[in-house]
Amino acid sequence: MTSEPANAKPPLRVGIAGYAFMGAVHSQAWRNAGRFFDLPVEPRLQVLCGRNRANAEAAAAKMGWAEVETDVERLIARDDIDVIDVCTPGDSHADIAIAALEAGKHVLCEKPLANTVAEAEAMVKAAEAARARGVRSMVAFNYRRVPALALARRMVADGRIGDIRHVRAVYLQDWITDPEAPLGWRLQKERAGSGALGDIGAHIIDATQYLTGQQISGVSALTETFVKERPLPADSGGAVSDLAGASAGAARGPVTVDDAALWTARFSGGAIGSFEATRFAAGRKNAMRVELNGSKGSLAFDFEAMNELWFHDHTEDAEYAGFRRILATEPGHPYAGAWWPPGHGLGYEHTFVHEIRDFATAIGEGTDPEPSFADGLRVGRVLAAVESSAANDSRFTPIAEAS
Amino acid sequence: MTSEPANAKPPLRVGIAGYAFMGAVHSQAWRNAGRFFDLPVEPRLQVLCGRNRANAEAAAAKMGWAEVETDVERLIARDDIDVIDVCTPGDSHADIAIAALEAGKHVLCEKPLANTVAEAEAMVKAAEAARARGVRSMVAFNYRRVPALALARRMVADGRIGDIRHVRAVYLQDWITDPEAPLGWRLQKERAGSGALGDIGAHIIDATQYLTGQQISGVSALTETFVKERPLPADSGGAVSDLAGASAGAARGPVTVDDAALWTARFSGGAIGSFEATRFAAGRKNAMRVELNGSKGSLAFDFEAMNELWFHDHTEDAEYAGFRRILATEPGHPYAGAWWPPGHGLGYEHTFVHEIRDFATAIGEGTDPEPSFADGLRVGRVLAAVESSAANDSRFTPIAEAS
Amino acid sequence: MTSEPANAKPPLRVGIAGYAFMGAVHSQAWRNAGRFFDLPVEPRLQVLCGRNRANAEAAAAKMGWAEVETDVERLIARDDIDVIDVCTPGDSHADIAIAALEAGKHVLCEKPLANTVAEAEAMVKAAEAARARGVRSMVAFNYRRVPALALARRMVADGRIGDIRHVRAVYLQDWITDPEAPLGWRLQKERAGSGALGDIGAHIIDATQYLTGQQISGVSALTETFVKERPLPADSGGAVSDLAGASAGAARGPVTVDDAALWTARFSGGAIGSFEATRFAAGRKNAMRVELNGSKGSLAFDFEAMNELWFHDHTEDAEYAGFRRILATEPGHPYAGAWWPPGHGLGYEHTFVHEIRDFATAIGEGTDPEPSFADGLRVGRVLAAVESSAANDSRFTPIAEAS
Amino acid sequence: MTSEPANAKPPLRVGIAGYAFMGAVHSQAWRNAGRFFDLPVEPRLQVLCGRNRANAEAAAAKMGWAEVETDVERLIARDDIDVIDVCTPGDSHADIAIAALEAGKHVLCEKPLANTVAEAEAMVKAAEAARARGVRSMVAFNYRRVPALALARRMVADGRIGDIRHVRAVYLQDWITDPEAPLGWRLQKERAGSGALGDIGAHIIDATQYLTGQQISGVSALTETFVKERPLPADSGGAVSDLAGASAGAARGPVTVDDAALWTARFSGGAIGSFEATRFAAGRKNAMRVELNGSKGSLAFDFEAMNELWFHDHTEDAEYAGFRRILATEPGHPYAGAWWPPGHGLGYEHTFVHEIRDFATAIGEGTDPEPSFADGLRVGRVLAAVESSAANDSRFTPIAEAS
C-alpha cells in the first residue's frame, strides 16, 4: 500500500508476457510513469507471465508484479487484466497480441511487430477490429520517446529544416564481434525473424519514417553474416539469455540471421536515405544515429549521447552558423519538463516511461496511441523489402502498399 | 500491495523532510533502489514531512509516500521510522540531523552538510556518538555515484594515472544569467549559506577529494556577485520554488550570496587544483567537470555527458595514445551491471538510486556509509576557507584540521 | 634568387596546366615541399599554362611561376620541363597526360583520372609505356597524404584492427544546397563527367581502397539530382569560378550531373561498405569521413578535424576501452615529423605538400609513386559501376577487372 | 628568380635572428604571406643570423634565406635590411630589439616581449621613440591570428555575447611530464625568464585581453615545479634543442622555472577569470583553450581543434539554443578568405602567415601594427604580478599601470 498514490483514478491492470531485458525495462516504466506524469489512469503491475514458475516468481518479486501466470492463454483469459504487454520473442507476437485484442485487452507489443509481414497484417486486422470496440494497440518503438528525437520530430514538422533531402541512419553495436559469442535466440531465424536487421534496423526504419513524416518507398539492400557458426549457449533459462552476457557451451550451431544489413532507400517525399544495422562495429555500443539534411537546416542525433540534439540552421548567416548542441532537457522539450532541471539528463529507461505515459494516456482518454500496429506493419514491409532486395542482387525493391 | 516485492527482508522505514527538487529525486531513489540492487533491507516510503499539509499530501501522493507529517519534531519522534532523509535547505540541516541521530534514526543529509563549520562540527560529533550506538549517517554527495566517476576513482586507486599533479574542476550553470531571474532561497545567505559556492562548488570539492584520495590543504579564492539585486519571487510555496522555474514578483531584494566563486588549491598529496563554480556560464546547463592529470595518465569527465569517462594512458606509445571515451555502461563498471546493456545510458536520478543502494546496504550490513558527516565537514571547511580567502585579498588559506 | 636553397640537387622543372583551385594548392605544394622535406631533386616552378594570357600571368605572378604558356601543346613540347602537373577539368586529362607522357614528361594528374573508363584505360596504357622509359606518373588523391589517414593505413597494415568487416565512408558538402547557386563547370556532365560522385565520391573510393588494402568488387547504387535547373554563372573567367564563390547570371541551364550518390559495396577481402557523396548536406562543409570496423578494433576519421584519428582497440579489457583521439602530430606519425611540435596541427594544403614530396622523391629515386594511374583507373571503374547500377535499378554491379 | 612575383612592389628586406622552432615558422610565414595576401610590400628573406656559421648556413639554405650573419650587431648595422625579426630566447630580446629600433629597423619580436618588466619598459620606450620616426614594432602573439580567435574578437566587439562575466583560459601541454625529459633552455630561469608561465601562460594572457577588450587588473596566483632536477641535454647545438626532442645527457641540473602556474584574475571591465598554464597535463598536446561567458552568449575555443569556434547565443529561445561549432573557414571570416574553400582547414603555421601579413601591411601603409610593445609590456606586467602573488601567499596583486 505504501507506495501507491492516494487518488481516485481508474486502475489500469497490466499483465506482462516475458521478463527478460524488455520485460525488465517495461516493468520499470509501468512502475514509474504515474510518478512523473499526470496520467488519467493508475497503472497496476498485476500479473507477470513466464513459463518457468520459479523464475517468473523471482522476476515478479524483483520487478514489482503482484502475481504470476505460467500460461499466456490463462493470462489473456483473466477478467482482472486490462492490458497485455507483449515482451516475448518476435515469433510469438502475433498469437499473443491477436488473442489479447480479441479478448478485449489493450495491447502494447514490442518491436518488431512480427517476424513476417503476413503475421503483421493479421495483427493490424485484429487491431482495427478491436479499435472499433475501443480497444487500443501500440507497437513499442521506444526511440520515438527519446526527448531529443521527439524534439527533432517537432522541429521537422515546424519546417525548421525545410524539405528533407538526406536521411542518414545507422544502428551500430558490437556485442557479437567476438566469433565465440554464443548463439542465443536473437541469432536464430525461427525465433528472431532476422538478425541485426529486425532487432535494431527496425528502430532506424521507424525512427526515420517518424522523424521525416515520410514513408520509405523502396530499398536496395545487402546483408552479410560474418560469423557463420557459433557455440550454442550453455544455458538459456536465465532472464538475460538473449543478450551478450550468456555463456557459451561446447556445441556449435549455424547462425541463421544477418550480422549486418546495409541499404539505400527512397522516401515518399523525395528524400534519399542510407541505412546500416550491425552488431559488428567494434567499439560502438549502442550507436543509433540519425542525421537529416534539409533545404533549411540539418539535425543529428546519436543515442550514445541521448540527451543531445545537434541542429544546424542553414537560414542563418553562414559566418555564424554551425551545428549546435541542444541539451534536450529544457522544460519545454518533449517529456523533459516532467523530470529534472536543465542539464540533468535522462537515461535509456526513460524512453519506456514516456512510452507508457503515452499509451496509458491514450487508453484513459480513448484516443489512438502511436505508433500503431499499422506503423509496425509498415516497418515490417520495409524489413521484408530489405531481405528481398538482398536476396535479389540488391535490386531496388518498392515497398508494397497495405492491401 | 501490488508493487511490493514479496520477500522477507527487514523493512527500512523512511521519513523524508522536504519535498522540493531534492525530495523528489530522493523519493525516486528510495522507490527504485530495491528493484535493481539486492538490498539487505526493504526500503519503505513511510512519511513525508512538510509544513504545508495540503502541499505535502499532494507531494506524498505523487511521490509514493504513505503518510504525511507537518512537524519535523513529530516525524523524528515516531517509533515507526528508521531513517530520516534530510532534504531541506541548509540552515535546518544541523537541527534536524542532530535530533534524528539522538533519537536513534539513521540520517541521510543533503549537501552541503550545514551552512557553517560550527554546525557541521556539531553534526559530526552527533554522528560519532550515534555511530557508537550503531546509528548510521551519510551526506548526500550524489556525484560519487555517477558510474563514470566511481570508475575514475577505481582507476586512480589502482594507480592507472600515477601521481596526480593537476586537478581541474568546474561546475558551470547558467540559470540566473538573466538579471531578472527571481531571488529564491538559494540566493539568500541566511537560508543557503552561500551561493554557487555551497550549492555546486561543494560538489566539486567533495568529488575531487574523493577522486584523488587527497584532501585540499589550502585555497586562494575570489568570489563575485554580478547581479546585486533581483526581483523577489511571486510565490514561494511551490515544490520547485528553489529553481529557476519560479516566477518573479514586483518587489526586489539584495542578493546576499556569491554568483560565482573561483579558487586555486593545494592537495595533501602534492597536486594543485583550479576550481570554479558559477551560475552565470551562459549555455552551460550542468557542466560539472573534472580533469585529473597524473604522471601515468589523465581522466576527464563532464556531467552533461555523464555516461562518458575520458581516459588517456600516458604509458602507451605516444603514437597510439590519446584520450579515449569509455562508455561507463559495461557490466563490470560500478553500479552499471544492475541496469541495462552496454551503451544504454543512465540519467541524473540514477546517481541517487546508487546512493540509496549504498546507504541502505550499509545500514543493513552494519557498516559505515561514505561520505560520512566528517567528509561533509571537510568540504565545509574548504567552503569556509574559500570565503575567508576571498574576504582576505585572496590570501592562501590553509584548511584547519578537525579538532 | 633570394628564396632558393643553395644546394646542388638536380632541378625538377615543373609546368602546370590550370590555375584555379587545384592549381593554386598544387603551386603552394611545389613551392614548399623542399623546405620541409629533404628531396632528392629541387622543384622549380617553371611554367604556368592557361588559355587567357592576362589571367595566366597574374596567376603566375601570384603563385610564383617563372613563365607563362597559353597553349598546353607548346608547354608539353618544351625541352626545359620535366613534369606536367594536370590541374584542368576532367575532360582534358587524358589528352594532356598522354601527350605529356609520350613526350617523356613525368605526370601528376588531378583526380578523377578521367571522365570515362575508356580514357582512363588509355592513360594507364600510356603510363605503362612511359614507365618502361623511366617516366613516372601519379594521380593526385591527396587524402592519402593526410597524416591521420596515412597513420590509419599503417595501423591497418600492421593488423591493429584485424580483419575488416565494415567500411563506412561519406563525403558531405553543402555548397549547392541553395537552388540559386550557379551552374559552374562542375555541374556539367561534359566537363566534369559526373557530379558529387566523381568530384568527392572518387576520394572516398580511393581512400577506402587504400586504407583497407582491398579493392571494391561490386556496388549497388542510387543517385539523385535534387535541383534540376540552375542559373548559369555570370562570368566564368575567374580563377575560382569552379567553386561556390561564382556569381549567378540571369540565364538558366539544366544540371546534368548528380547532386548526390549513395552506394553499398563489397570489398575483395570480405568487408562490406556504405558510401555517400553529396553537396546537399546543410552544415557539413568538407566532411570526408571514414570509419573502419575490424575484428580487433576500429578507426574513424573526419576531415573537418583532420589532425585527429580515432582508434578503438577491441583487444583491450572492455571496461577500459573506447574510441581514443590520436592527434596525428607526433614526430613518428607519417609526414608529421617534418613540421611542428605535437598538437600544432596541419591544414588542407599540407596534404598536397606531402603529395609533392612523395612524387618528387619517387622521380628522384627512380621508383613508382602511388597512387598510380592504374589506381586511378580502379577508382574510375567503381565510379562507372556506381553510375551503371544507379541506371539499372540499383542492381549489384561487379567491378570489371582491368583487361 | 623563378619563385618571385613579378611586380613593382617595394621590397621589405628581412633579417631574422634565431632559426630554431620560432625561426622556422617565421621563415615559412615570410615566404608565404605575399602568395595569399595582397601586400603593399614584397618581403625578401635576406639574412639569417646565428652564432654557429655552419648551422646557420644549413638553416638558411633549408628555410630560404639569401645570406647569413653570425653577429647580430652586424646584422643590425646592415643598410640592406628593413626589418629585424627577433626569434631568440627572451633574455636577448631587449638588447636586439632596442638596437634595431635605434638603427631604424622595424622590429617583430617573439613573445614574451622580455624576461623582465624593466627590459620590457625600455623596449616600449625605444618603440615609442622609433615610432615618431616612422619605425614600426610588434610583438608576435600569433594566437590573435587564428581565424577562429580573430572571429571571436569580432563577435565580442560586435556585442554578440554582451557583457563578459567569465574568462576561462588554460594552456595545457605535456611535453615534460616525463621526469627524465632534459633540462633545455626553456627550463632555465636566466634564459627563459619563467617556465610554463612565460612560455605559454603569456599567450593566454594576451589572448584574453585581446578577446575581451579588457585589461587584467589583478591576479592571485600559485605556481609549482613538480620535477626539481632534470638531466642536462646531451647537446644544445641543434636547431630544435629548445623542444622535447633533445636527448638527455648524464649530468643533472636544477629546474629553476615553474612547471605550472595557476591564477585567478579580475578584468578592468568587471569580468573574472581563471587561468592555468602547465607542461604536465598528460595527453594534452597544445590545448590552448579560452571560454568567455557573457550576458548574451558564450564563446569557446581549443587550439587542438583550431578551425572551430564554439558559440552559444543566449538571446535565442532556450529550447533551440546550444553551443554551435562554427568552422572558421568561411570567406568572410578573418584571414580565411585568402585560402581554401569552406571546411578546408588551416594549420598552426598559418597564424604566423597572418601575423606577417598584418605586420608587412602596417609597415607598407605606415600604420601601427598590433599587438604593440606596449601590449607586450602589459602581458609582462601580468606575468610579473603572477610571480609576485605566487611568492606572496597568493595575495591578490594589482597590475601596476604603465608609468
pLDDT by 10-residue block (mean), chain C, 403 residues: 59 96 96 96 97 96 96 97 96 97 98 95 98 97 98 98 98 94 89 92 98 98 96 61 58 94 97 98 98 98 98 97 98 97 97 98 97 97 97 95 52
Contacts of B281 in chain A (CB under 8 A): none
Looking at residue B199, its amino acid is D
Quick one: cell of B282? 551562459
Taking CA atoms, what residue in D is nearest to A147? D319
Does the beta-carbon distance from B319 to C311 stay under 8 Å? no
Among D288, D287, D234, D229, which Cα is nearest to D257's? D229
From residue A342, alpha-carbon distances to A4, A27, A261, B235, D319 in Å are: 28, 27, 37, 21, 10
Quick one: cell of D205? 594572457
B92: helix, strand or coil: helix
User: If you average pLDDT over every residue of chain D, what do you get?
Assistant: 94
pTM: 0.96
Does the beta-carbon distance from C260 to A165 stay under 8 Å? yes
pLDDT for the residue numbered D235: 62
Quick one: cell of D399? 597590475
Rg of chain D on CA atoms, in Å:
21
* Chain C touching partners, 3 or more CB pairs below 8 A: A, B, D
Taking CA atoms, what residue in A is nearest to C318? A283
Taking CA atoms, what residue in A is nearest to D152? A320
Q: Residue D375: is its pLDDT beyond 60?
A: yes
Cα A324 → chain centroid? 27
Does the beta-carbon distance from B296 to D282 stay under 8 Å? yes
Does the beta-carbon distance from B348 to A346 stay under 8 Å? yes
pLDDT for the residue numbered A36: 96
Contacts of B220 in chain D (CB under 8 A): 220-222, 264, 393-394
Among C68, C88, C64, which Cα is nearest to C78's? C68
D150 pLDDT band (50/70/90 cuts)?
Answer: very high
Does the beta-carbon distance from D151 to A327 stay under 8 Å? no
Taking CA atoms, what residue in D is nearest to C7? D61
Taking CA atoms, what residue in A is nearest to C278? A166
Stretches in chain B below the pLDDT threshold 50: 1-5, 236-245, 402-403
- Three-class SS of chain C: CCCCCCCCCCEEEEEEECCCHHHHHHHHHHHHHHHHCCCCCEEEEEEEECCCHHHHHHHHHHHCCCEEECCHHHHHHCCCCCEEEECCCHHHHHHHHHHHHHCCCEEEEECCCCCCHHHHHHHHHHHHHHHCCCCCEEEECHHHHCHHHHHHHHHHHCCCCCCEEEEEEEEECCCCCCCCCCCCHHHCHHHHCCCHHHHHHHHHHHHHHHHHCCCEEEEEEEEECCCCEEEEECCCCCCCCCCCCCCEEEEEEECCCCCEEEEEEEECCCCEEEEEEECCCCCCCCEEEEEEEECCEEEEEEHHHCCEEEEEECCCCHHHCCEEEEECCCCCCCCHHHCCCCCCCCCCCHHHHHHHHHHHHHHHHCCCCCCCHHHHHHHHHHHHHHHHHHHCCCCCEECCCCC
What's the CA gap between B331 and B339, in Å, rounded?
8
pLDDT in tens, D291-325: 999 999 999 999 999 999 999 999 999 999 999 99
Stretches in chain A below the pLDDT threshold 50: 1-5, 236-245, 402-403
Could you say which of C286, C304, C350 has the minimum Cβ distance to residue D347? Answer: C350
CATH number for the segment(s) A147-305+307-346: 3.30.360.10
For residue D125, the 8-state DSSP code is H
Taking CA atoms, what residue in C is nearest to A296? C282
Does the beta-carbon distance from C272 to A294 stay under 8 Å? no
Could you say which of A274, A283, A394 has the minimum Cβ distance to residue C298? Answer: A283
**What's the average model confidence in pLDDT over D201-217?**
98
The continuous run of DSSP H or E covering D378 comes out as helix D373-391
Task: Say which residue, C108 or D7, is predicted with more confidence.
Answer: C108
Q: Residue D238: is its pLDDT beyond 90?
A: no
Contacts of D146 in chain C (CB under 8 A): none
CA torsion sign, A374 to A375 to A381 to A387? negative
CA distance B395 to chain A (A): 34
- Nearest 5°: the CA angle B318, B320, B321 is 65
pLDDT for the residue numbered B7: 55
Contacts of C166 in chain A (CB under 8 A): 260, 276, 278, 280-281
Could you say which of C262, C282, C298 has the minimum Cβ distance to residue A294? Answer: C282
Number of Cβ pairs < 8 A linking chain B and chain C: 45
Number of Cβ pairs < 8 A linking chain A and chain D: 45
Contacts of A60 in chain B (CB under 8 A): 6
Quick one: cell of D396? 591578490
pLDDT for the residue numbered C243: 44
Does the beta-carbon distance from D348 to C350 stay under 8 Å? no
Query: Are the C-beta atoms of D280 and B166 separated by less than 8 Å?
Result: yes
pLDDT for the residue numbered D403: 41
What's the CA gap between C188 and C195, in Å, rounded?
8
- Selected residue of C301, C344, C350, C352 to mutate for chain D interface (largest D Cβ count, 10 A): C344
Beta bridge partners of D301: D290
Can you give the residue ranges of every domain in chain C? Answer: 11-142, 147-305+307-346
Does the beta-carbon distance from D264 to B262 stay under 8 Å? yes
Contacts of D342 in chain C (CB under 8 A): 175, 244, 285-286
Number of Cβ pairs < 8 A linking chain A and chain C: 139
Does the beta-carbon distance from B264 to D264 stay under 8 Å? yes
Q: Is A162 exposed, middle or buried (0-12, 13-18, 19+ CB in 10 A)?
A: middle
Does the beta-carbon distance from C62 to D175 stay under 8 Å? no
What's the CA gap between C348 and A173, in Å, rounded?
33
Number of CB atoms found within 10 A of residue D332's CB: 11
Fold topology of D11-142: Rossmann fold (3.40.50)
pLDDT for the residue numbered D241: 41
Cis before C182 (ω within 30): no
Contacts of A221 in chain C (CB under 8 A): 220, 264
- Selected residue of D173, D348, D351 to mutate for chain C interface (largest C Cβ count, 10 A): D348
Chain A residues interacting with chain D (CB cutoff of 8 angstroms): 151, 155, 311-312, 318-327, 330, 332-333, 342
Does the beta-carbon distance from C343 to D1 stay under 8 Å? no
Could you say which of B155, B322, B342 has the minimum Cβ distance to residue C325? Answer: B322
Does the beta-carbon distance from A332 to D318 stay under 8 Å? yes
Q: Looking up cell 551491471, which residue turns up? A: B337
